[in-house]
C-alpha cells in the first residue's frame, strides 16, 4: 500500500497557478484549417436560427428547413467544461526508491495537483488506474469528492508483484472515453511498446505523458553494491553502483526510453514531460503548463 499523501502548502499554491489548457481549437478542427488552442471537449448545440447570406451552409438543418419551408441553421457553442482524466500506472515498479520517497508518492502528489487545478478551473476530473490490465475507472466529475476518491483508490492499490503494460489499458480507454478528453498518463513507462495503441487514442483525445523516474534508475548517485528486488517479479539481484559501466548502461537505457517517448509524442502531436523524484517536480509541472504552446500543425 502506498504511503499517505498530504495536500502540502506547496501543492495548494501550485494548484492555484496551474491551469490545464487544451491546445486544439475545436472550431478550427471542424473547419480543417489548423490545430491551435481550445478550451472545451467539443461543440454543443445551442439553438436554431434563420439562414442569412454568407452563413456556412455546412451548418444547415435540412430537416428543419424542409419542415418549416424556411432556410434554418444549427448554431453551436463551444463547451466550456473540460474533461481531464489522469491515468496512473500502479504496477510494482512504482514502489522503486533508492532513498527518500518512492515513485508512487510522486504519482499521488501529481494526481492531487492536477485534480485540484482541474476542479478549481470548473472542469471535470476523473482517474483511471492500470497495470498490465485496466483496473478502475472513476468518471470525470467537477466535485472535490472525485479527487478524494481518486487519492483513496490510489492509496489502496496493492502495488507489489504487479506488472506494467499499457497496451490493454489504452485500448480500454479508447473504447471508454466518449467525449474529447485531456488524458494525462503518469508512469515510468518501463513497459512493452505501446505506440500503436497510443497513436489510435491520440486521434480523438489530447495526450500528455508524464515520465516519472528515480535518478538512481539513470545511474546517478550510486556508490556501493546494492541488493535490489524487482517489485514486479520479486526477483533479487545485485547492482554494482561502483561500476562505471553499470552506471553508463543504466543512463543509456533511460536515455533511449526518453528519446523513444519523445518521438512517439512528436508523431502523435502529444506532449511529453520527464520528472525525476529528485526534481522540484511540482514546480516543473506548473511551468510546463504555463509554457505549453499551440500544437504543431
More confident residue, 54 or 19: 54
The answer to whether 164 and 191 are in contact (CB under 8 A) is: yes
Closest CA to 182 of 112, 265, 271, 113: 271
As a dihedral over the C-alpha atoms of residue 239, residue 241, residue 242, residue 246, rounded to 10 degrees, the angle is 80
Mean pLDDT for the stretch of residues 180-201: 94
Question: Of 78, 101, 120, which residue constitutes the final position of a domain?
Answer: 78
Mean pLDDT for the stretch of residues 34-53: 55
Query: What pLDDT sits at residue 35?
Result: 26
In DSSP notation, 140-157 reads: EESSHHHHHHHHHHHHT-
Same structural domain for residues 72 and 108? Answer: no
Same structural domain for residues 58 and 103? Answer: no
Query: What pLDDT sits at residue 88?
Result: 96
Same structural domain for residues 112 and 65? Answer: no
Q: 0.95 cut: is pTM over it?
A: no
Mean pLDDT for the stretch of residues 260-272: 94
More confident residue, 163 or 36: 163
The answer to whether 153 and 129 are in contact (CB under 8 A) is: yes
- Residue 4 inside a domain? The answer is no
Same structural domain for residues 139 and 159? Answer: yes
Residue 257 has pLDDT above 80, yes or no: yes
CA neighbours closer than 13 Å in the CB half-sphere of residue 254 = 19
Residue 202 has pLDDT above 50, yes or no: yes
Query: What pLDDT sits at residue 242?
Result: 63
- Residue 16 inside a domain? The answer is yes
Alpha helices in the chain (DSSP H): 9-17, 26-31, 62-68, 103-120, 144-155, 167-176, 195-202, 244-268, 281-291
Number of domains present in the structure of the chain = 2
CB neighbours of residue 60 within 10 Å? 15
**β-strand 83-89 against 181-187: which pairing, if any?**
parallel
- Residue 130 inside a domain? The answer is yes
Query: What pLDDT sits at residue 51?
Result: 81
- Residue 37 inside a domain? The answer is no
Same structural domain for residues 231 and 282? Answer: yes
Same structural domain for residues 195 and 127? Answer: yes
Mean pLDDT for the stretch of residues 21-44: 37
- Residue 212 inside a domain? The answer is yes
Mean pLDDT for the stretch of residues 240-264: 83
3-state secondary structure of 111: helix
Q: Whole-angstrom Cα distance, residue 23 to residue 150? A: 25
Same structural domain for residues 265 and 131? Answer: yes
- For residue 36, what pLDDT band results from cuts at 50, 70 and 90? very low
More confident residue, 297 or 42: 42
Same structural domain for residues 58 and 97? Answer: no
Query: What pLDDT sits at residue 77?
Result: 52
Same structural domain for residues 162 and 52? Answer: no
Same structural domain for residues 71 and 95? Answer: no
Question: Of 63, 78, 93, which residue constitutes the final position of a domain?
Answer: 78
- Residue 56 inside a domain? The answer is yes
Chain CA centroid to CA 61, Å: 37
Closest CA to 88 of 131, 132, 142: 131
pLDDT averaged over the chain? 78
Query: What pLDDT sits at residue 27?
Result: 32
Listed in sequence order, the residues at least 6 apart from 100 whose beta carbon sits closer than 8 Å to its beta carbon are 277
Residue 40, sorted as left (phi over 0), alpha (psi -120 to 50) or beta, turns out to be left
- Residue 38 inside a domain? The answer is no
Q: What is the CATH number of the domain that holds 234?
A: 3.40.50.410
Question: Of 57, 78, 99, which residue constitutes the final position of a domain?
Answer: 78
- Residue 108 inside a domain? The answer is yes
Determine the structural domain holding residue 66 and report its residue range.
45-78
Same structural domain for residues 190 and 69? Answer: no
Same structural domain for residues 62 and 188? Answer: no
As a dihedral over the C-alpha atoms of residue 181, residue 185, residue 186, residue 192, rounded to 10 degrees, the angle is 160
Query: What pLDDT sits at residue 225?
Result: 62
Residue 74 has pLDDT above 70, yes or no: yes
Percentage of residues of the chain with pLDDT beyond 90: 31
More confident residue, 130 or 3: 130
Amino acid at each position: 500500500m502506498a504511503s499517505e499523501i498530504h495536500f502540502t502548502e506547496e501543492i495548494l499554491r501550485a494548484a492555484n497557478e496551474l491551469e490545464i489548457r487544451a491546445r486544439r481549437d475545436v472550431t478550427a478542427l471542424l473547419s480543417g484549417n489548423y490545430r491551435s488552442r481550445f478550451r472545451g471537449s467539443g461543440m454543443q448545440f445551442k439553438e436554431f436560427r434563420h439562414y442569412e447570406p454568407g452563413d456556412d451552409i455546412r451548418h444547415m438543418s435540412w430537416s428543419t428547413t424542409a419542415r418549416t419551408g424556411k432556410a434554418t441553421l444549427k448554431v453551436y457553442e463551444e463547451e466550456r467544461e473540460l474533461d481531464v482524466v489522469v491515468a496512473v500506472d500502479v504496477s510494482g515498479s512504482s514502489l522503486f526508491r533508492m532513498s527518500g520517497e518512492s515513485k508512487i508518492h510522486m504519482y499521488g502528489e501529481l494526481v492531487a495537483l492536477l485534480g485540484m487545478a482541474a476542479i478549481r478551473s470548473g472542469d471535470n476530473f476523473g482517474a483511471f488506474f492500470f497495470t498490465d490490465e485496466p483496473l478502475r475507472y472513476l468518471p470525470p466529475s467537477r466535485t472535490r469528492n472525485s479527487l478524494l476518491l481518486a487519492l483513496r483508490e490510489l492509496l489502496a492499490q496493492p502495488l507489489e508483484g504487479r506488472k506494467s503494460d499499457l497496451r490493454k489499458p489504452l485500448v480500454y480507454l479508447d473504447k471508454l472515453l466518449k467525449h474529447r478528453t485531456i488524458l494525462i498518463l503518469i508512469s515510468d513507462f518501463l513497459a512493452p511498446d505501446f505506440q500503436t495503441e497510443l497513436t489510435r487514442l491520440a486521434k480523438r483525445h489530447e495526450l500528455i505523458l508524464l515520465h516519472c523516474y528515480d535518478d538512481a534508475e539513470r545511474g546517478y548517485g550510486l556508490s556501493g553494491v546494492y541488493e535490489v528486488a524487482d517489485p514486479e517479479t520479486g526477483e533479487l539481484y545485485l547492482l554494482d553502483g561502483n561500476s562505471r559501466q553499470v552506471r553508463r548502461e543504466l543512463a543509456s537505457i533511460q536515455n533511449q526510453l526518453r528519446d523513444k517517448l519523445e518521438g512517439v509524442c512528436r508523431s502523435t502531436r502529444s506532449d511529453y514531460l520527464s520528472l525525476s523524484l529528485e526534481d522540484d517536480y511540482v514546480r516543473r509541472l506548473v511551468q510546463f503548463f504555463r509554457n505549453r504552446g499551440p500544437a504543431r500543425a
